[in-house]
Amino acid sequence: MDRIDTDENKNNNYVRHEEAEEESSCRFFKSMKKKVCDFAGPIIVGAGPSGFAVAACFKSRGIESLILERAHCAASLWRLKTYDRLRLHLPKSFCELPLMPFPAALPRYPTKRQFLSYLDAYAAEFGLRPRFGVAVVSAERDASTGLWRLRADSGEEFTTRWLVVATGENAEPAVPRIPGMPSFLGPALHTSAYRSGEAYRGKRVLVVGCGNSGMEVALDLCDYNAIPTIVVRDTVHILPREMLGQSTFGLSMWLLKWLPVRTVDRLLLIVARLMLGDTARLGLPRPKLGPLELKSLTGKTPVLDVGTLANIKSGYIKVRPAIKRITEKGAEFVNGRIEEFDVIILATGYKSNVPRWLKESDLFSEEDGLPRKPFPNGWKGQNGLYAVGFTKRGLLGASLDAVRIAQDVELCLQGRE
């Protein structure tokens, strides 16, 4: 555990990969146009936290796996596409990967670089060495052999009995079509390209989206003396990150052991009203369903406030309703108000890219690229196909699925499945 770095300059010490070790476990059959790797163990597509979690669970059971990653580093979303001020939204005890807790010395909510350092140490602990720069463009089951055949953009092919999809819910930025957006004369970017508010000092910035990312980006802009306005198109639950000296999430999980979800929701909303006031008066109306029930039914996560609401109350961050259209110099909202902005930031989330490359429709929905069966039953498909990191329950859900997948493959190897 003492190998975990907290120095930002050492965060990228796990972005290199040596193919020599991987070649010892693959047999390459070369031809004029391609080479094929027939891999005896599971192949994992995706070297993010979910892919690492299942690979470590395999390793702990003596099962060698091969991780394929399209980027040139591990956890590329965290490392390359997140803003600087990001911290884990939940306490570290709910975000640790299987078989290795966070160091006790780290704060309750580790920073981005502390989490990346944890992932680097995790990979080192379990000897995880992905094949970087390998983008899987097609994966389908070969009925004649019963194996999964994966094709990479490089022309390489891989076959395996077990395919684990670990590309996750956040593989690609979700960019909505907003009327008039091409006419906007200023910069327009997704939060995946946003790092800090330093570049936007004094700028009028429209943040489209009021989830955790949108709220935190608006707060970050405010801290750098930008002039942020946040678009709230729908209802949203905002809860304090901590209640009664405990994390709101941890308190919720404890209460759910004794009380039904609707009772816990009522308690959370009573405390939230006492601590935060009536958010509807600020342009942030709450859904009819409680935060936990809504999360269970739709996967929509409540916003855990880290200071944004205080800036909304003080007027430093303005709230506007849905956008009717984007203009050359700003936006017109559905209430008829027209304002000018220098920059537009789309905090509109991410989406799965599974339907683009996986030629299968039983486990994954072709509509949204998520498992058809809800948690906790969406981790296993047919013919050796698995999914990890698609639970809409963050790292905790991914860890639970990783353990189940490793157990299932072990049973297959023992001839008991």
Task: Provide the strand spans (E) within 131-185.
Answer: 131-132, 136-142, 147-152, 157-160, 163-165, 172-173
Q: Is 123 exposed, middle or buried (0-12, 13-18, 19+ CB in 10 A)?
A: buried
Helices marked H in 36-189:
49-60, 76-80, 112-126
Give yes or no on whether 8-171+352-413 and 174-346 have one common fold.
yes
Question: How would you classify the pairing of strands 343-346 and 188-190?
Answer: parallel
Mean pLDDT within 332-354: 97
Alpha-carbon distance 240 to 136, whole Å? 41
Per-residue pLDDT tens over the stretch 355-397: 999 998 799 999 999 999 988 899 999 999 999 999 989 999 9
Return the DSSP state at 184.
-
Yes or no: say if 108 and 91 are a contact pair by the CB < 8 Å rule: yes
Task: Provide the strand spans (E) within 143-243.
Answer: 147-152, 157-160, 163-165, 172-173, 188-190, 204-208, 227-231, 238-240, 242-243
Per-residue pLDDT tens over the stretch 257-315: 999 999 999 999 999 999 999 999 999 999 999 999 999 888 889 999 999 999 999 99
Task: Extract the tokens encoding 308.
Answer: 């944004």
Non-local (6+) Cβ contacts of 362 within 8 A are: 372, 381, 382
| pLDDT confidence tier of residue 54, bands split at 50, 70 and 90 | very high
Mean pLDDT within 236-240: 97
CA–CA distances in Å: residue 194 to residues 175, 204, 302: 14, 15, 22
Q: Is 320 helix (H, G, I), strand (E, B) or coil?
A: strand
Per-residue pLDDT tens over the stretch 13-50: 333 333 444 444 444 333 334 578 899 999 999 999 99
On average, the pLDDT of the chain sits at: 91
pLDDT of residue 233: 93
Q: Is 316 helix (H, G, I), strand (E, B) or coil?
A: coil
Residues β-bridged to residue 333: 323
Alpha-carbon distance 81 to 247, whole Å? 26
Among 387, 311, 331, which residue's Cα sits nearest to residue 354?
387
Domain ranges of the chain: 8-171+352-413, 174-346
pLDDT of residue 190: 98
How many C-beta atoms surround the C-beta of residue 356 within 10 A?
A: 12
CATH top-level class of 8-171+352-413: alpha beta
CA–CA distances in Å: residue 397 to residues 222, 242, 377: 33, 21, 11
- Residue 12 pLDDT exceeds 50: no
CATH top-level class of 174-346: alpha beta
Show the CA angle centred on residue 115, arms to residues 57 and 312, nearest 5°: 130
- At 337, which amino acid appears? R
Per-residue pLDDT tens over the stretch 82-140: 999 999 999 999 999 999 999 999 999 999 999 999 999 999 999 999 999 999 999 99
Mean pLDDT within 63-74: 97
| pLDDT confidence tier of residue 215, bands split at 50, 70 and 90 | very high
pTM: 0.89
pLDDT of residue 417: 57
| pLDDT confidence tier of residue 2, bands split at 50, 70 and 90 | very low
